Structure 1
Amino acid sequence: MELSAVLAAASGLGFGFALIVAIGAQNAFVLRQGLRGEHVFAVVAVCAISDIVLILVGISGLGAALAAAPALITAIRYAGAAFLFCYGLLAARRALSSATLVAEPGSTVALGATVATALALTWLNPHVYLDTVLLLGSFANTYAGADRWFLGLGAMASSVLWFTGLGFGARRLGPLFARPMAWRILDILIAVTMVALAFGLVFAQ
């Protein structure tokens, strides 16, 4: 492998981490599922594979076509805002509920519903398109030839590593979340994050 390809892959890895390591809808959901030990592999797989597909779309040049369709971006933005707002309300309801917040052994939410939520948090979030498709795609286009694809591989690796570490690494926080108050605080933070993202999408210029 040529040095330029290695450097491109390293750039993609770093750039990918810079985009993905932030408080957002996906990360909050993956963290919560990891803490609960509920369908973790499925959630990690959905988020990582979705990112890989979006990165491929951006690097292939389709990001420019998406940028040329502002009406589509607007529709996705409002649909995503509505979904994030509703998810935030559900998190707030969990936080304020008097029911037991500590996760019981075993799954309490069906696999299909969990996967559907992970898909919605990914594909209905305009930030995913703006960051992964448009921003990463534009950055990749500064590289010539095959180096552009090596950069994409680096970015894909960052997604797989991040979601895997976040989902399965969350179990190390298990003792902390053995107390109901810890879950209440987590859900409050998730609710605030989701609602803030929703309002940010609605009032984005």
Structure 2
Amino acid sequence: MCGSYSLIPGSKFYSRFSLFNKLPNLPSFSNSRPGQFLPIIYRDNKNIIDVMRWGLIPQWAKNLDFGAKLFNARSETILEKPSFRGSFNSCRCLVPASGFFENRRLFQFKDKSLFSLAGLYSKWESPDGSFLPTFTIITTFPNSLIKPYHDRMPVILDKSSEDLWLNPTSSSKDLFSLFNPNSDEKLEIG
């Protein structure tokens, strides 16, 4: 599972993700945790950056308790689970990262570049009528570099795959093709 990741945005962050807007204070963090409010990118005709709470709460949930359990979604069962099915069909997002952790080890691209984790989001309406935006990170089977440390890894999207992931007209078949483990040749243990 992916229970922690890092983001060191750098000066080219906004251009790297072709963002329409900017956050007043783009955070830099080295060890995020579920329950924190973190930046994600979704598409609403243009790429929009927003801050959402890590731990997806489906729109139909009655209370906040769901979010504590749903910080990851397994790629192979994503359409079987009511918690994720709706978001997979219409609320996909990018989780920008510079690394992720498995068993206290940092995995990052060898060239230290930013990348995206495949995510889903939901805007949950509380009983008082306020909205809480939440997200989850999709996981898949590990590549050979990560396998000695964990039996799952986050779905890493190549820059060329990000548009396909965010495109609302992408087919399920095309989206599922993105769930293969990222090549271990690009990653290193930091």
- TM-score range (shorter-chain normalised) is under 0.3
Q: Which has the higher strand share?
A: 2
Kindly indicate whether structure 1 or structure 2 has the higher relative contact order, using CA contacts under 8 Å at least 6 residues apart.
Answer: 1
Larger of the two Rg values belongs to structure: 1
State the TM-score, normalizing by the size of structure 1: 0.22
State the TM-score, normalizing by the size of structure 2: 0.23
